[in-house]
Structure 1
């Protein structure tokens, strides 16, 4: 495995674990109410800006993955879409780069 693939994989794992630590901590302190978390994301203009920044990034990444999968016929790379929506761009993007950089058979 190339160095770049190992880095992508490490970033995908880090991007899955690190943000989840904070999400779980928040849920434990405030209850397991997803709508309360969404409200917290919009607590001020700065956090709302970050939410919209990430929302646009998720849409762009999803579109890119779909176009690339249609072109390259690498259906396994579609797993990066639910990873992006369920975990975040910090996991989905490096996971897709890891999958995309696999040697061509």
Structure 2
């Protein structure tokens, strides 16, 4: 595995663990669960703007993944779409780059 692929993989793992730590910490601290976390994303203009920024980035990444998967026939890379929406762009983007740069079998 190339050093660049190792970096992509490390960023995908970090992008999954680090944000999730803060999400779980918030839910434990407030006792509100996932619905409380989602409500907090829209508590003021700043967090709403950031939420929309990440949502638009996730949609753009999904369009790119679909276009590239269709052209390259790299069906495994589709796993980056649920990773993007269930975990976050911080995991989905480096995961897709990791999967995109693998050597063909």
Q: One fold, TM greater than 0.5?
A: yes
Query: How far did 1:103 drift?
Result: 1.3
The superposition leaves residues 42-62 of structure 1 with CA deviations (integer Å, 9 ceiling, x where unpaired) of 111111110000000000001
Structure 1 gaps of 5+ residues are none
Query: How far did 1:35 drift?
Result: 2.2
Query: Using the alignment, how far apart are the partners of 2:31 and 2:84 within structure 1?
Result: 24
Q: Which residue of 2 aligns with 1:91?
A: 91
RMSD, aligned α-carbons: 1.0
Contact 2:57 2:89 in 1 (8 A): yes
The superposition leaves residues 17-63 of structure 1 with CA deviations (integer Å, 9 ceiling, x where unpaired) of 00000011111112253222111111111111100000000000011
Equivalent residues, number: 105
Query: Using the alignment, how far apart are the partners of 1:46 and 1:27 within structure 2?
Result: 20
Q: Which residue of 2 aligns with 1:39?
A: 39
Structure 2 gaps of 5+ residues are none
Matches within 5 A, 1:21-60: 21-60=21-60
Moved over 3 A (4+): none
